């Protein structure tokens, strides 16, 4: 009799726990749904003010100029400026997808222990030693002038979106890239992960 009572009590406790878990799951689901609805109602500037990754506002990413044109005019701090300049001087003639791919490499390097831990640090690594830098435009001895305003506005938006959390899935974690018309020695050692536009991408 006593064992039967214990079994009944255990059953009731189990049912109560299961009910509580189900109610908790329902409440969490409702909260997540409400959060998604609120986020969907905000524009990119409001999301940025809340420090929310912009990918939440881009349910369907399209690597096209039309998609980029609909984004708000971009601005930012020194890190944004460094990334925008790198995209302008390294890839402004590329497709939007190709420009995002170059941005990925730079941001992948920021996260890698093999490189400096800031965007500007990655881009200026080796600057001051002619043709020994990571990004040629920073050490080729030429004065860098931003003369194409439309291209600058476009890469600025791409840099802003990349820094704000656009998914980095184009290059499969690449840390290096080069144009198709050159063949650096390291390209025969590193594993190629993608080819986008005029660039090949590699992991080190």
Q: What is the pLDDT of residues 90-127, one digit of tens each?
A: 999 999 999 999 999 999 999 999 999 999 999 988 76
Q: Which helix (H) or strand (E) segment is 200 a member of?
A: strand 199-203
Kindly report the average pLDDT of the chain as a whole number.
79
Domain that holds residue 199: 59-203
In a domain, 163, yes or no: yes
Residue 165: the pLDDT is 87
The predicted model gives 58-83 an average pLDDT of 89
User: In terms of domains, do 132 and 170 share one?
Assistant: yes
In a domain, 124, yes or no: yes
Three-class DSSP category at 43: coil
The model's pTM: 0.69
Distances (CA, A) of 189 to 108, 182, 183, 184, 192: 19, 15, 11, 10, 9
The predicted model gives 45-66 an average pLDDT of 60
In a domain, 100, yes or no: yes
User: In terms of domains, do 16 and 115 share one?
Assistant: no
User: In terms of domains, do 104 and 177 share one?
Assistant: yes
User: In terms of domains, do 185 and 135 share one?
Assistant: yes
pLDDT at 43 over 50: no
Q: In this prediction, what percent of the chain has a pLDDT beyond 70? A: 68
């Amino acid at each position: 009799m006593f064992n039967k009572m214990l079994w009944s009590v255990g059953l009731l406790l189990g049912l109560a726990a299961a009910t509580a878990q189900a109610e908790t799951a329902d409440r969490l689901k409702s909260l997540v749904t409400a959060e998604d609805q609120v986020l969907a109602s905000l524009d990119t500037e409001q999301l940025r003010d809340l420090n929310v990754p912009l990918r939440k506002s881009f349910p369907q990413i399209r690597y096209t100029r039309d998609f980029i044109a609909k984004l708000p005019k971009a601005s930012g701090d020194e890190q944004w400026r460094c990334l925008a300049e790198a995209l302008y001087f390294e890839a402004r003639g590329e497709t939007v997808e190709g420009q995002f791919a170059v941005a990925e490499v730079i941001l992948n390097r920021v996260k890698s222990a093999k490189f400096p831990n800031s965007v500007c640090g990655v881009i200026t690594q080796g600057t001051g030693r002619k043709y020994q830098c990571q990004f040629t435009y920073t050490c080729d001895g030429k004065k860098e002038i931003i003369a194409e305003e439309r291209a600058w506005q476009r890469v600025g938006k791409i840099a802003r979106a990349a820094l704000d959390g656009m998914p980095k899935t184009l290059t499969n974690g690449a840390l290096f890239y080069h144009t198709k018309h050159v063949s650096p020695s390291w390209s025969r050692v590193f594993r190629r992960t993608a080819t986008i536009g005029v660039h090949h991408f590699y992991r080190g």
